[in-house]
C-alpha cells in the first residue's frame, strides 16, 4: 500500500505486462539507449502505430524467414524442449523474435510464445475449414483472425482495466 500509488483491487500484475506487450506492438525506437534520456519528438518509431502484431509477425514469412517453421512457412517456429513452450532461440540463448524486447522478462516472453502458438493453431483451423488454400493465403487468414481477436481483447478486456468505463 502506497499513498502515491495505491493498490487497485481490480487489477492483477498481468495488466502491467500486457501493457508492456501492447507498447512493444506500437512503438520501437532503435536509436535510443537505455539509461539515456531521449527527446520523444526526435525519437523515430520503427513500428506501425497500430495494434497489428507486427512485433510478433515481423515482415512475414518472406521478409523474416527466421521466425517461421522451415517445414511449414505458414507457422511460427516454437521450441518445446523444456517443461513449457518457449521462443525459438539461437545457440547463445538469444530469442529469435521480431522484437527483442519481447524476451525482456519471462511474462512478456510467455505472451509472445502464446501468440506464436495461437497463430499456429489458427493455421490449423484455417486449413481444416478451407483445405484448398495455398500456404500464403492460409498464413494471411490466420494472421487476420489472430489480429482481430487480439484487437477484441484489447478493447474488451484490457482497456476497461485501465480507462474509466465512461471514457470507453
pLDDT digits (tens, 9 = 90+) for 110-155: 999 999 999 999 999 999 999 999 999 999 999 999 999 999 999 9
Q: Is-contact 62 102, C-beta < 8 A? A: no
User: Would you state the pLDDT for residue 1?
Assistant: 54
pTM of the model: 0.85
Please state, in angstroms and rounded to a whole number, the distance separating the CA atoms of residues 141 and 147. 10
Please indicate whether residue 86 or residue 137 has the higher confidence score (pLDDT).
137
pLDDT digits (tens, 9 = 90+) for 98-112: 999 899 899 999 999
Backbone angles phi, psi at 136, to 5 degrees: -65, -45
Please state, in angstroms and rounded to a whole number, the distance separating the CA atoms of residues 67 and 89. 10
pLDDT digits (tens, 9 = 90+) for 22-65: 988 888 776 776 677 777 777 776 667 789 999 999 999 999 99
Grid cell, residue 136, equals 500464403
Amino acid at each position: 500500500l502506497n499513498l502515491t500509488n495505491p493498490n487497485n483491487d481490480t487489477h492483477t500484475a498481468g495488466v502491467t505486462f500486457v501493457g508492456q506487450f501492447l507498447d512493444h506492438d506500437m512503438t520501437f525506437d532503435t536509436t535510443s539507449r537505455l539509461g539515456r534520456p531521449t527527446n520523444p519528438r526526435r525519437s523515430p518509431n520503427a513500428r506501425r502505430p497500430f495494434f497489428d502484431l507486427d512485433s510478433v509477425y515481423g515482415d512475414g514469412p518472406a521478409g523474416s524467414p527466421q521466425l517461421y517453421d522451415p517445414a511449414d512457412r505458414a507457422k511460427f517456429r516454437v521450441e518445446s524442449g523444456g517443461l513449457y513452450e518457449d521462443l525459438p532461440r539461437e545457440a547463445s540463448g538469444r530469442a529469435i523474435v521480431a522484437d527483442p524486447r519481447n524476451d525482456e522478462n519471462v511474462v512478456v516472453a510467455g505472451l509472445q510464445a502464446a501468440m506464436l502458438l495461437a497463430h499456429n493453431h489458427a493455421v490449423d483451423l484455417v486449413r481444416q475449414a478451407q483445405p484448398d488454400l495455398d500456404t500464403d493465403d492460409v498464413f494471411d487468414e490466420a494472421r487476420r483472425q489472430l489480429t482481430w481477436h487480439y484487437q477484441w481483447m484489447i478493447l474488451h478486456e484490457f482497456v476497461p482495466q485501465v480507462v474509466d468505463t465512461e471514457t470507453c
